[in-house]
Structure 1
Amino acid sequence: MSQFSLKQQRLNQGVEYLKNKQLQQAIAVSRSLNHDYPDCANSWYFTNQVALASGNLNVALTSLDKACALNNNPNWQLQLAKLALQGQQYAKAKKLVQQLSSQTLSANQDNQLALLLSQLDSPKLAIQHYQSAINKDASNHQHYYSLGAVQRHQGDLVDAERSLTKAIELNPRDVDAHCLRVDLRKQTKQGNYIEQLHSLVDQSLSAKDTVQVQFALAKSYEDLQQYEHAFKHLDKGCQLRRKHLNYDINQDTKIIDSIKETFDANWLQQHGSTPVDNNSLAPVFIIGMPRVGSTMVDQLLAMSQQIQPLGELNHFSSVLSQLTRQLKKPINSAQQFVRCASEVDFAQLGQRYSQSVQQQFSEKLVDKRMFSDKLPLNYLYVGLIKAAIPNAKFIHVQRDPMDTCYAVYKTLFQQVYPFSYEQTELAQYYVAYRQLMQHWQQLCGDSIYQLQYEDLVADPQQQGKALYQFLQLQWHDNYANIENSSTHVTTASASQVRQSIHNKSVNKWRHYQQQLQPMQNILQQADLLDSE
């Protein structure tokens, strides 16, 4: 038997082990292949697959890197760029996508590259590659959907609607395209997609697709001011979504209680001596509940040339998790994680957070004094952030509690905020959030700017000026015209934020006062609602 045949036979055996989830045997085969055939690209690629199945990202990266060095395979390079991004190796991911951009790719490869470019905050290049994919395969509805999604993030809402409509023409059952198209603009009597959405409901859809369509119908009917129809579909969507979630509100409230108990005044006094790194940019964290106007605030900050908005980053929690795991202590519950998190090296935490942000956004941060991180859930970490990054500032955006909870309730989130689909759970979470923010206010109040949504939309000039003063930035009256901003927005507010600042969403919950009684009762019991 030839060396090639023997090598292939061993490789086939390893693939069979991997297919049958016999990981130890697959690992043994991969090691022997790499030892005997160090110049075999397929062996290193097999090692990559074994490492991924074993959850070893570092080995997966290094082995695929070796495979790509031996074989210039675009599919492997795309996978390597994706893994580099997952491992927060941003410079490596950027170099790979730059190399791929100059190669001749298939339509599917162009689509994958465009997604990576979008994730690396290069939307214009992403659009070019989606359009290249369409030129090569104009019958694929997914290319048009992906193009429409990035155009929406860029604020090109007319082009986005055109792309999504084309996706639906090619695949009338493309539920994602139907629902995203509804979100692009306010639906009117003369221009809406209600009939098409109802025709989708009549078909045999998956639970996930049914939920999406129900939320899209709720949004459409609310735009048309048909509030009973709107809430009927919203209620159906929320009930079905909640049915398929494994979630316990008590776990979240216990975690918040544990945060308050662990990170108290004594803890902050012991850990509040981290020196300020004068070489790093000052981060501004926009925190609070989702759907309270944080994207609007971020756009307001983006009008200045001195601060760079970076969207919703998970960098702080990611670095915190890494450092906590390195303590090598048993973590079998979220409460244990909270306690272990209090013991990490906070100077190192701050440095690694700043480094990870700088690595990913180095080009954008040139000549900037500050950057903003608008992930709402960073409110959980205010005390930890302050200990790790002493020059960090916080903008706590608040909105009327009922308007906040209703806005969250009517939004279909992808992977986050599982508390948002049942009224009592949502209200209970809101109460816990307010209690934690009161705790942080007592400990770190000088660094937290309280911004009320209703005040901002009523007088953007005065409120914007006061906010800029807190950040020690210069205010200009034209900054209130946030509709002129060209910032890339990837959150649920991507369509709405292209409008000028308005007060049309104030007191919107009152259209459903009777239906939202369970939510209102809990907020009243917590003394969070103004007396009427």
Structure 2
Amino acid sequence: MTDSAHVRQLQGRYREAVDALNRGDWIRAQHVAMYLLRDAPAHAGVAFVAGVAALELQQIPLATQCLERAVRINPDRADYLAQYARVLVMARQSREAHHAADRAMTLQPEDVLSMDTLGVVYSQLNAYGHARDAFAKVVEKMPGVASYRFNLATALIFHGEIDAAESELEACLTIDPDFWRAHLSLAQLRKQTCDHNHVERLRVLLSSHSQVDDARLYLNLALAKELEDLGEYSLSFRMLTAGKRAGKEGRGDSTVRDKVVFSAIEQHWRPSSGNSGCRDGAPIFVIGMPRSGTTLVDRILSSHPDVQSAGELQDFGVLLKQLSGSTTLQLLDEDTFAKASALDWSRLGHAYIESVRSLVPQSPRFVDKLPHNFLYAGYIANALPDARIVCLRRGSMDSCLGNFRQLFALSSPYYDYSFDILDTGKYYVMFDRLMRFWRERLGDRLLEVRYEDLVDRQRDTTAGILEHCQLEWNDACLDFANNQAPVGTASAVQVRRSMNRDALDRWKRYEQELEPLRLLLENEGIAVS
């Protein structure tokens, strides 16, 4: 075969790979592109196709390698950089992902797919201002795509732009009434009233889509929220249970898996010896059960002029996993905690600071508000002995109900307990036992704050938190509702209101329905009030 014929053959195969990629035939696209890489290792387009195909097939290491090659060969393609940023986020390389996304944005991409990808990447990096701007450009170019309107609405919610978010959600549902997630977001956007609610629309949709799993999940949860707002508590709880039952299907026994993790922590954790660890006092870790007030404390602390919120970061757990040498697939498992007992604590602490500092480069102090970092409290104390740790505690019944009411990330296995109220109770028992374990070993390194005290004695409790975090008093911490920083959690709407008692003793609205939960907790020695 002549050289020109060989080139034509390679060009034909490349077009074949691109066509397969555009059709979503990831296996074919990967097969052809990986074959071509042997003959054309310096072809950026071939590496890009191979990388995107691997990414769609969840082959993260291979995707990272191929997309890094594409970007290295051709650094001026925004679409290459956008997909590279996407895979870096999936690989939990936050700092590198942020850098790649910023490089892509400087190239001012025009294609909608790249802009939408960058919006998603920025959302996952807690850079919600950048995410909103990216999604707004996408909607401007293609206003008739429901998913784009939904993405913009979500970013607007995080920014507290509730009216604009509501308009985008309604636009999303006008385009596609079966965009089920939008119905739940709309229900959660504000307190519904007799004069303004979506109950009838939700009921009609549920009756006509009762065999669709996603419809049963999202519509039942949306109905539960709106019926609760309208005071129909018994019916609300039935809808909530039906929705969560739909989401639980196929998830297996979460309690068995969680017991293994909790037991492994208590079995393998050891305090560090001597003066090990990174002596950087910038981090403040806010931990606790989800829906216990962690976002509220994050807002209080980040209202202080010396503190910035870094959001809910996976960095500590990811770095612990990587540096432990564990090669198992799960971030949290017995193998990880067994190997972590031999960690170089100083190395872990410095790696964490280096990873997070790019997100909050100017602020003297920052808050890492990932609730599930309660699993790592002792490891944080070892790696960062000068960091402050604040754990939120909330009444057991309200904590369990709050977790059961919330739809957490469906892709994460760490919230599987929340699809059943009794599984949630069992998880709370494990959480309570682990916090006793940490309290006995960490002493005053750990401050436990009752959510109820924060609501009823705001000034005194806030003063105690600031003192623990070695921060001077500042009145702005009482005025957290005026904090303009974005909020990327389930509490994005609630924490923009002033302190109130609306969420206290919510469980008593469902006292009869929650009787089995109450008995479970009491039998485990957990106080119920």
Same fold at TM > 0.5: yes
Q: Distance in 2 between matches of 1:463 and 1:332?
A: 34
Gaps of 5+ in 1: none
Is the counterpart of residue 133 in structure 1 residue 135 in structure 2? no
In structure 2, list runs of 5 or more residues that go unmatched: none
Give the C-alpha shift of residue 431 in structure 1: 0.8
Structure 2 matches for 1:193-208, cutoff 5 A?
Answer: 193-204=198-209, 206-208=212-214
What residue number does 2:274 align with? 273
Match of 1:425 in 2: 423
Aligned pairs for 1:124-273 (under 5 A) are: 124-204=129-209, 206-263=212-269, 267-268=270-271, 271-273=272-274
**Structure 2 CA distance for partners of 1:394 and 1:99, relative to 1, 3 Å:** same
Q: Which 10-residue stretch deviates more, 5-14 or 392-401?
A: 5-14
1:308/1:371 contact within 8 Å kept: yes
In 2, Cα distance between equivalents of 1:478 and 1:50 = 49
Q: Root-mean-square deviation (CA), in Å?
A: 3.0
Matched, 1:514 2:512: yes
Shift of 1:55: 6.4
Per the alignment, in what secondary structure is the counterpart of residue 202 of structure 1? helix
Separation in 1 of the partners of 2:252 and 2:115? 36
Name 2:295's counterpart in structure 1: 295
Q: CA deviation at 1:452?
A: 0.5
| CA distance in 2: counterparts of 1:453 and 1:288, whole angstroms | 11
The residue number in structure 2 matching 1:406 is 401
Q: Using the alignment, how far apart are the partners of 2:101 and 2:13 within structure 1?
A: 31
Superposed displacement of residue 219, structure 1: 0.8
Letter in structure 1 aligned against 2:357: Q
Q: 1:471 to 1:49 in 2, by over 3 A?
A: closer
Counterparts in 2 of 1:109 and 1:487: CA distance versus 1, 3 Å: same
Instruction: Tell me which moved more, 39-48 or 302-311.
Output: 39-48
Matched, 1:391 2:397: no
Query: Which residue is 1:345 aligned to?
Result: 344
Find the residue that maps to 2:429 and give its secondary structure.
helix
After TM superposition, the structure 1 stretch with the greater mean CA deviation from structure 2, 131-140 or 55-64, is: 55-64
Could you list the per-position Cα deviations for residues 16-36 of structure 1 after superposition, in whole angstroms to 9, with x for gaps in the alignment?
Answer: 9x9696999879735522xxx
Identify if the C-alpha distance between structure 1 residues 23 and 213 changes in structure 2 by more than 3 Å, giving closer, same or farther.
Answer: closer
User: Number of residue pairs matched?
Assistant: 517
1:79 aligns with 2:75: no
Partner residue, 1:61: 64
Matched with 2:367 is: 372
CA distance in 2 between partners of 1:407 and 1:241 (Å): 16
Instruction: After superposing the two structures, state which structure 1 stretch, 61-70 or 133-142, moved more.
Output: 61-70
Matches within 5 A, 1:38-57: 38-49=41-52, 52=55, 57=60
For 2:85, what is the secondary structure of its paired residue? helix
Q: CA deviation at 1:183?
A: 0.7
Give the letter for the 1:272 counterpart. Answer: S
Instruction: Provide the residue aligned with 1:436 in structure 2.
Output: 434
Change (3 A) 1:167 1:76: same
**Distance (Å, rounded) in 2 between the aligned partners of 1:9 and 1:379:** 54
Match in the other structure for 1:358 = 357
Paired residues for 1:325-340 under 5 Å: 325=325, 334-340=333-339
Task: Tell me how far 1:331 sits from its aligned partner.
Answer: 10
Does the 8 A contact of 1:26 with 1:50 survive in 2? no
1:138 aligned counterpart, secondary structure: coil
Q: Aligned in 2, Cα 1:256/1:85: closer, same or farther, shift over 3 Å?
A: closer
Asked whether the equivalents of residues 288 and 379 of structure 1 are also in contact (C-alpha less than 8 Å), the reply is yes
Identity within the alignment, %: 26
Q: Deviations over 1:355-377 (max 9, x none)?
A: 11123x0xx331x2321111111
How far, CA to CA, are the matches of 1:508 and 1:62 in structure 2? 50
Q: 1:412 to 1:333 in 2, by over 3 A?
A: closer
Tell me how far 1:47 sits from its aligned partner. Answer: 4.3
- Deviation per CA, 1:193-245, whole angstroms, max 9, x where unpaired? 11111122022263123111111111111111111111111121122222332
Deviation, structure 1 residue 101: 4.6
Q: 1:464 aligns with which of 462, 472, 475?
A: 462
Whole-angstrom CA distance in 2 between matches of 1:121 and 1:408: 22
Q: For 1:58 and 1:301, locate their aligned partners in 2 and report how far apart those are by CA, in whole Å.
A: 37
Task: Tell me by how many angstroms 1:295 deviates.
Answer: 0.4
Q: Does 1:285 align with 2:285?
A: yes
CA contact (8 A) 2:277 2:347 kept: no
Letter in 1 for 2:170: T
* Aligned-residue offset at 1:404: 0.8
Q: Is the 8 A contact 1:231 1:512 kept in 2?
A: yes
- Normalising by the residue count of structure 2, what TM-score does the alignment of the two structures yield? 0.89
Contact 1:274 1:388 in 2 (8 A): no
